[in-house]
Structure 1
Amino acid sequence: MSRRILVVCHEGRPEAVSAADKVSEDLRAHGIEAVRDGTAERAELVMVLGGDGTILRAAELARTHDVPLLGVNLGHVGFLAEAEQEALPYVVDRVAARDYAVEQRMTLDIGIITPDGREQHSWAINEAAVEKGERARMVEVTIGVDGRGLSTFGCDGLILATPTGSTAYAFSGGGPVVWPDVEALLIVPLAAHALFARPMVVGPSSVLEVEVLPYEDRNAVVWCDGRRMLDAPAGSRITVGRGAQPVRLARLAQVPFSGRLVAKFALPVQGWRGIRERA
């Protein structure tokens, strides 16, 4: 059976299209079928050329068919990306040689029941962001874990994230950075008017619950990875738990996550001397 790789890029960016054309050409030179339009069905890998948004879009295609995803960053931070644009020839050679490892990343399954009994479902690899429906008004929520209420407050929003998402929206909201091999769920309130509204980290088997209180008909919306929006009108109940289907990421190098943090955020490490020799 011939090898098949789906190549995804931001079609609205000429430099991304040019890079995807070159990658496709190089893959074909290795005897690999490079597909630009279509699904990830029968593909051994999804190669993504772009920023975080493009990678998240490609994750939808890859997850559907349980295919690993390999991102090459053409954007800014690109935390989900495995390599930068200048390394493309090297990446193609490694892919052609099947010289890559695959790791699983935890996802979220999201459910909403509206006051009229309507059900909505989605998923996310980074986060489910509960946001106020009206710019000038806070949303009133009660949060709970595993069937027990924890706190009620008004806020601009609430981020329910995976460890992978801890360096995305949750990070901007003041949440902790969690290593991706830690299995956990994060709760990060945004601009909450409450004494107890700290970021929390709970176990992977827990179920996070958010009730949008019917206070002055203040509605909310839920954004899944910033790509899929679900309505959560006042009186809705939102549940978020560990996703049944993970996302698989292809890795070329076994770089510690601390190294990725330093590289992506350009963290200062002057003065670090590592393990000192014993006298």
Structure 2
Amino acid sequence: MRKIALLTHEWRQDALERARSAKERLGKAGITVVDATCSSDVADAELLLVAGGDGTILRGAEFTRGTKVPILGINFGHVGFLAEAEPSSMDEVVTAVIEHQWTVEDRMTLDLDITLENGEVIHDWAVNEASIEKAHGARTINLGIGVDGRGLSTYNADAALISTPTGSTAYNFSAQGPVVWPDVEAMIFNPIAAHALFTRPLVVGPNSVIQVQVYSRDAIIWCDGRRPVDVVGGAQIEARHSSERVYLARLNDSPFSSRLVRKFHLPVAGWRKRGADD
């Protein structure tokens, strides 16, 4: 018996209606469909179908973490960079699911160890990024950055990001950080509006560890914009390549560059392949 888990943005009426229709059609094809409300609903499914934006897909990643269940996203949000399809192609998506016509792409994630001033260590993780931000009312946040145990710089900033290649097209992209292809196993550190001589984004390899010392007395760390960790009195953050992956279902084999052009509506008029008219 085949089983598909379904996660829908609970406030988007269009997503709810399309998801309901998809559930009925999958059921008629003999596939059991369960509404995903926790990890146990997803653990033995062959696929997690998500109707929502990137935030809903990141919620789905919380359910699938520790499994190899792939996530197939239909974008009912804005950019929807993690999504594979738009609502207009929902019927084609359902057909592909019924016929088991998808491939799986795995992406790296981050492991985060956050040591608070009192010695407590909080373990978390991220698919996109960890953002270190000033608390409400603060003017800036004072940070020190190091890689592999060697300090590099200290500065005041509005925030700082530690991102994966997947997250390079999210908050990091808005903060003028580099776009990194998803098959590059790297971490990106990007200070936002920093005041110092050396404030460039850094791209480090998979075996490195990024360390951030929070000197400010009041800050907050967001993991994927979903899970906050309040920092009172300073903290030290270590970010490293995680052994856990996130798995995304793909319906076509178009290159990442095509996704960039499509999602960000990049102007490519006049581009031609070398030799096309030679």
- Residues 1:207 and 2:206 aligned together: no
Q: Where does the alignment leave 5 or more consecutive residues of structure 1 unmatched?
A: none
Judge conservation of contact 1:112–1:238 (CA < 8 Å) in 2. Answer: yes
Judge conservation of contact 1:212–1:233 (CA < 8 Å) in 2. Answer: no
Residue in structure 1 matched with residue 56 of structure 2 by the alignment: 54
Residue in structure 2 matched with residue 102 of structure 1 by the alignment: 104
**CA deviations over 1:105-129 (Å, ceiling 9, x no partner):** 1000111111111111111100000
Structure 1 residue matching 2:185: 3-state secondary structure: coil
Shift of 1:37: 4.0
- Using the alignment, how far apart are the partners of 1:142 and 1:262 within structure 2? 36
Judge conservation of contact 2:217–2:234 (CA < 8 Å) in 1. Answer: no
> What is the 5 A alignment of 1:86-235?
86-213=88-215, 218-235=217-234
Residue in structure 1 matched with residue 255 of structure 2 by the alignment: 256
Shift of 1:29: 1.4
Identity score, percent: 52
> What is the 5 A alignment of 1:266-277?
266-277=265-276
Q: Where does the alignment leave 5 or more consecutive residues of structure 2 unmatched?
A: none
Shift of 1:64: 3.8
- Using the alignment, how far apart are the partners of 2:79 and 2:276 within structure 1? 35
Structure 2 residue matching 1:226: 3-state secondary structure: coil
- Using the alignment, how far apart are the partners of 1:103 and 1:277 within structure 2? 31
- Residues 1:18 and 2:17 aligned together: yes
- Using the alignment, how far apart are the partners of 2:141 and 2:4 within structure 1? 44
- Using the alignment, how far apart are the partners of 2:23 and 2:57 within structure 1? 17
Structure 2 residue matching 1:107: 3-state secondary structure: strand
Match for 1:198: what amino acid? R
**What is the TM-score when the length of structure 2 is the normalising length?**
0.96
Shift of 1:154: 0.7
Residue in structure 1 matched with residue 71 of structure 2 by the alignment: 69
Structure 1 residue matching 2:104: 3-state secondary structure: strand
Structure 2 residue matching 1:193: 3-state secondary structure: coil
Match for 1:41: what amino acid? A
Q: Between Structure 1 and Structure 2, how many residues are aligned?
A: 275
Structure 2 residue matching 1:59: 3-state secondary structure: helix
- Using the alignment, how far apart are the partners of 2:136 and 2:239 within structure 1? 23
Structure 2 residue matching 1:246: 3-state secondary structure: strand
- Using the alignment, how far apart are the partners of 2:244 and 2:95 within structure 1? 29
Judge conservation of contact 1:156–1:192 (CA < 8 Å) in 2. Answer: yes
**CA deviations over 1:117-174 (Å, ceiling 9, x no partner):** 1111111100000101233321111100011000000111100000000000001111
- Using the alignment, how far apart are the partners of 2:151 and 2:125 within structure 1? 23
**CA deviations over 1:29-86 (Å, ceiling 9, x no partner):** 1110011144202101000001111111111112243311000111111000001111
Structure 1 range deviating more: 35-44 or 266-275 = 35-44
Match for 1:248: what amino acid? Y
Judge conservation of contact 1:143–1:209 (CA < 8 Å) in 2. Answer: yes
Change beyond 3 A, Cα 1:180–1:149: same
Shift of 1:233: 2.6
Structure 2 residue matching 1:18: 3-state secondary structure: helix
Residue in structure 2 matched with residue 238 of structure 1 by the alignment: 237
**What is the TM-score when the length of structure 1 is the normalising length?**
0.95
